[in-house]
Structure 1
Amino acid sequence: MSEPQMFNTRSGNAVIVALDHGLSLGAPEGFKTPEETLDKVLEGDPDGVVVGPHFARHYKERLKAADADLVLTADVVTWSTSPGRDHGSDLWTPAFNTELLQDLSPSGVKIVLVFGRDDEETFRRNIEYVSHLSEELRGTGIPLVVEPVMWGERIPDGLETDSEYVADALRMGWEFGADILKAPYTGSVDTFEPIVSNSPVPVMILGGPASGSTKAMLETVEGAIEAGARGLMIGRTIWKSDNPTQTVAALRQVVHEGATVNDIWN
Structure 2
Amino acid sequence: MDWGMKNRLSKIIKPSNSRCVMLAVDHGYFLGPTEKLENPRETIGPLLNYADSLMLTRGVLRTSVIPESNTPIVLRVSGGSSIIGEDLSKETIVTSIEEAIKLNASCLALSIFVGSKYEFQTLKNLSKLVNEGEKYGIPVLAVTAVGKEMARDSRYLALACRIAAELGAHVVKTYHCPDFNKVVEGCPVPVIIAGGKKLAEREALQLTFDALEDGASGVDMGRNIWQSDNPVAMLKAVRAIVHENSTVKEAYDQYVNTSTMTEEIRKKSRNKSVSI
Describe the SS at the equivalent of 1:111. strand
Structure 2 counterpart of 1:58, from 43, 52, 63: 63
Q: Which amino acid is 1:213 matched to?
A: A
Please give the TM-score of this superposition, normalised by the length of structure 1: 0.85
Please give the TM-score of this superposition, normalised by the length of structure 2: 0.82
Q: Distance in 2 between matches of 1:92 and 1:98?
A: 17
Q: Distance in 2 between matches of 1:244 and 1:236?
A: 9
Task: Give 1:56 shift.
Answer: 1.6
Q: Which amino acid is 1:70 matched to?
A: I
Q: How many residues end up aligned between the 2 structures?
A: 246
Give structure 1 regions of 4+ aligned residues with deviation exceeding 4 angstroms.
none
Q: How much is the aligned-residue C-alpha RMSD, in angstroms?
A: 2.0
Describe the SS at the equivalent of 1:115. coil
* Residues 62-141 of structure 1: pairs in structure 2 closer than 5 A: 64-65=68-69, 67-76=70-79, 78-80=81-83, 86=84, 89-90=87-88, 91-117=90-116, 119=117, 122-141=118-137
Describe the SS at the equivalent of 2:113. strand
Q: Contact 1:161 / 1:185 at 8 angstroms: preserved in 2?
A: no
Q: Distance in 1 between matches of 2:23 and 2:217?
A: 14
Q: Any gaps of 5 or more consecutive residues in structure 2?
A: 254-276
Structure 1 residues 256 and 101: alpha-carbon distance in aligned structure 2, compared to 1, 3 A threshold? same
2:242 is the alignment partner of 1:255: yes
Residue number in structure 2 paired with 1:202? 190
User: Greater CA radius of gyration, 1 or 2?
Assistant: 2
Q: Distance in 1 between matches of 2:196 and 2:172?
A: 15
Q: Contact 1:25 / 1:78 at 8 angstroms: preserved in 2?
A: no
Determine which structure has the larger helix proportion and give its number: 2
Describe the SS at the equivalent of 2:136. coil
Q: Distance in 1 between matches of 2:62 and 2:160?
A: 32
Q: Any gaps of 5 or more consecutive residues in structure 1?
A: 81-85
Task: Give 1:88 shift.
Answer: 6.2
Same amino acid, percent of matched pairs:
28
Q: Distance in 2 between matches of 1:234 and 1:57?
A: 21
Residue number in structure 1 paired with 2:213? 226
Describe the SS at the equivalent of 1:263. helix
2:40 is the alignment partner of 1:41: no
Describe the SS at the equivalent of 2:145. strand
Task: Give 1:226 shift.
Answer: 1.4
Q: CA-to-partner distance for each residue in 1:64-94, whole Å, 9 max, x for gaps?
A: 33x21100000115435xxxxx366434232
Residue number in structure 1 paired with 2:31? 25
Q: Distance in 1 between matches of 2:226 and 2:203?
A: 15
Q: CA-to-partner distance for each residue in 1:219-248, whole Å, 9 max, x for gaps?
A: 111111112211111211211111111111
